[in-house]
Chain A
Amino acid sequence: MRWRPGPIVTILAIAAVVPLVDLVLPAELALSEAVRTVFLYAILALGLNVMTGYAGMLNLGIAAFMAIGAYAFGILSCEIYPFQLGFWPALALTIPIGALAGFILGAPTLGLRGDYLAIVTLGFGEIVQDILKNLDSITKGMQGINPLPAPSIGGAMWTSNDERSWYYLLLALLTLTVIAARNLERSRLGRAWFSIREDELASRSMGIRVERAKMIAFATGAAIAAFAGGLSASVLSSTGEPNNYDFQVSILALCIIIVGGIGGVAGVLVGSLVMVGLNSIVLAKATAWMAAHGIGSQGNVMLSPNNWKFLIFGLALVIAVRIKPTGILPPKLERGRV
């Protein structure tokens, strides 16, 4: 049979040529920077997808793990702390730290039924922000930790102006995450997760160790989310403030996987493109254009385009699930040898 590129390969291949397209587009239309945000959210959403998509555990606090990753990266690498590990070691350490955080939250709560777990994760997402704020002698509270190192491949450290380097680094790391997720998905573990998602009791009766499989899913998802957090902190050269990892980030990640097609890697990629693209590309450019052409005014709340963003975002969600409740690219049955 002739090899045909699947949707994942297609998406990643198209993403690889975006900076080249940017060369011919006018500067204000340049897409690569906005697409970078898409990559970061895609990695985060892949982490959430391991928990929620594969193992069926609704997590409403994925941003907490992102925050843990970002702050761990910050503390391990920033010059105002003694550790100063440098980009690669610090980024690598976010993974076990995220997994540990996932374990600490997951160990007592994974026995909980569906939405009970959801509320626990939601609460966790809130209190991690609180803790990061309160322990300000360690985390610098609301100040955020900056500057954070960037990779330096041959020569000086990159800055956020080195757009193309960043772009391809993020794309490469996203591709690695995709491969990892695909490998797990098509293994004994992935099968166990799917079976738990479909029918927990039946898979238990088949000898699947449900708690253990869930624990691994939770820790893996948390590790990927923490990785995304560390990476985003490095891109921004700052952890930002704890509030930057609030409920809304978790919600966006959840919307990404559901609108994209829950449980499949391709769906997550398309979902992040659509949801983050809507936010940081379409809405941003549209309001900028309207402002530049004097459309709308600041005097009346309803005439200002910015004040419509929540509404448009919300409508997009409602309409998207109404048209395709299973998502844009729902995962297909694995037919191959698994």
Chain B
Amino acid sequence: MKAMEVHGVGVTFGGIIAVHDVSFAVEPGEIFAVIGPNGAGKTTLFNAVTGIHPPTHGHVELDGREQVAPMTRQTMVELLVAFLLVGVGVAATVNVERLWQASVIDNYIYEQPFPWGSALADLGRAVATLGWLGGALPLVCGGLVGAGAAWTNWSRARRSPDHIARTGVARTFQNIRLFNELSLVQNVLVGMDARMRAGFFSALLRLPRFRRERERFHAEAMKLLEFVGLADRALEAAGALPYGFRRRLEIARALAGTPKLILLDEPAAGMNPTEVGGLMALIRRVRDRGTTVILIEHHMKLVMGISDRIHVLQYGRTIAEGSPDAIRSNPRCIEAYLGVEENG
């Protein structure tokens, strides 16, 4: 089984074709690089894969499964529940004064005990006499709005980044997006959120379960920070971190969710040669943990040094794919990359 398969993915933004019919497959445990000149559509491809801007065409499979959440029986039940809840809610709201009058006001005499039984019976009778205009119409209209809204929400959420992240895909961003006001360890802990189980009430009441989980994940987060070499700064604010370290923190945060697949968007951008050397070692160690790595990079030394296979894009289209040696000697790639080396 492939770790990820991209089938004919295309992305268009208001008529502009950013990515056109790109397909490739990534083997588990591989370091796979996507390269191409600026504007080739590499980041757009990443965004399509991670659900930030869903692909206009094609689809992506992870571990042989469709990445978009399928329509299940549970979804149908949820739509039905939304229909009923909103429908009944609207119908009740529209008639609230009438129902209140029938059940409470007609039955309650000041300083007398309240006859609950007859009040409920009256309420039932009042509901039964609501009729079409007062009862059924608001029920159906409200229900349709409710189901429509639930449907809209569901279809937005079925391919949203959080859903995809939870299926085991983590990523870093080209323009580093850390949570600057949180400490390093907290940044890593955010990445672990999907694995945590303690809920609202155990946090509110500080139940033992919450404490146990907190200790466990905290220790793990510290280990991850050690792994990327940032353990001694664990309690500093992420915003105060020097640039080179920020990349490392982002990788640690991405690894925190124990993803099967990690997407690195230009991890070496702005690094000096020593830092790049360290980064290469880090990426290899990530792979050695069993995580498949896909990276976008301009830094040819890094790409050629660590990639198992390379996929080359230009103007949103695939122009080549193969081992580093094959790409290095591919004339179309050399042509596409003339001048890019000067920039990068």
Contacts and interface: CB of A to CB of B under 8 A. Distances in A.
Interface in B225-277: 235, 237, 253-254, 256-257
Interface in B102-118: 104-105, 107-108, 110-111, 114
Nearest to A208: B193
Contacts of A205: 50, 52, 161-162, 165, 170-171, 173
A82 B186 contact: no
Interface centre among A111, A195, A206 (most CB of B within 10 A): A206
A188 B193 contact: yes
Contact of B194 (A80, A137, A207, A333): A207
B200 A189 contact: yes
Interface string A92-121: 000000000000100110010000000000
B240 to A, nearest CB: 9
A201 B178 CA distance: 11
Given A195-B190, A207-B194, A187 B203 contact: yes
Nearest to B203: A187
B180 interface: yes
A66 B235 CA distance: 38
B256 to A, nearest CB: 8
A216 B200 contact: yes
A187 B162 CA distance: 20
Contact of B203 (A189, A203, A204, A207): A189
Contacts of B100: 137-138
Given A184-B204, A188-B196, A198-B182, A204 B114 contact: no
Interface in A176-207: 180, 183-184, 187-192, 194-195, 198-199, 201-207
Interface string B310-326: 00000000000000000
Interface string B194-206: 1010101001111
Interface string B155-181: 011001110011000110100011111
Contact of A108 (B149, B162, B170): B149
Contact of A81 (B108, B170, B183, B186): B108
A191 to B, nearest CB: 6
B191 interface: yes
A162 interface: no
A33 interface: no
Contact of B97 (A137, A184, A209): A137
B343 interface: no
A300 to B, nearest CB: 48
Give the interface SS of chain A, mostly helix, strand, loop or mixed: helix
A338 B52 contact: no
Contacts of A208: 162, 190, 193-194
A185 to B, nearest CB: 9
A290 B19 CA distance: 73
Contacts of B110: 79-80
A204 B161 contact: yes
A322 interface: no
A269 B185 CA distance: 28
A198 B50 contact: no
B153 interface: yes
B80 to A, nearest CB: 16
A198 B253 CA distance: 15
Contacts of B12: none
Interface string A322-338: 00000000000111011
A203 B189 CA distance: 11
Contacts of A220: 200
Given A82-B108, A191-B190, A137 B101 contact: yes
A316 B229 CA distance: 48
B218 interface: yes
A189 B254 CA distance: 19
A210 interface: yes
B96 interface: yes
B97 to A, nearest CB: 5
A157 B76 CA distance: 52
Given A82-B119, A137-B101, A207-B193, A334 B186 contact: yes
Contact of B191 (A180, A189, A207): A207
Interface in A298-338: 333-335, 337-338
B153 A111 contact: yes
B97 A203 contact: no
B210 interface: yes
A183 B201 CA distance: 10
Interface string B287-313: 000000000000000000000000000
A107 B157 CA distance: 14
B257 to A, nearest CB: 5
Contact of A337 (B171, B190, B205, B218): B218
Given A187-B203, A206-B257, A208-B193, A81 B104 contact: yes
B284 interface: no
Interface in B43-100: 50, 52, 89, 96-97, 100
B7 interface: no
A327 B234 CA distance: 27
A135 B96 contact: yes
Contact of A137 (B105, B149, B166, B204): B105
Interface of A: 79-83, 104, 107-108, 111, 135, 137-138, 180, 183-184, 187-192, 194-195, 198-199, 201-211, 216, 220, 333-335, 337-338
12 contacts: A82-B104, A82-B114, A82-B119, A107-B149, A183-B206, A189-B200, A206-B165, A207-B166, A208-B194, A333-B181, A333-B182, A338-B218
Give the 7 A-B CB pairs with smallest separation, nearest first.
A187-B203, A82-B114, A207-B194, A207-B165, A202-B177, A198-B179, A204-B161
Given A137-B105, A333-B182, 19 more contacts: A80-B110, A107-B149, A108-B149, A137-B100, A180-B204, A187-B210, A198-B179, A199-B178, A201-B177, A202-B179, A204-B161, A205-B162, A205-B171, A205-B173, A206-B194, A206-B254, A208-B193, A209-B162, A335-B183
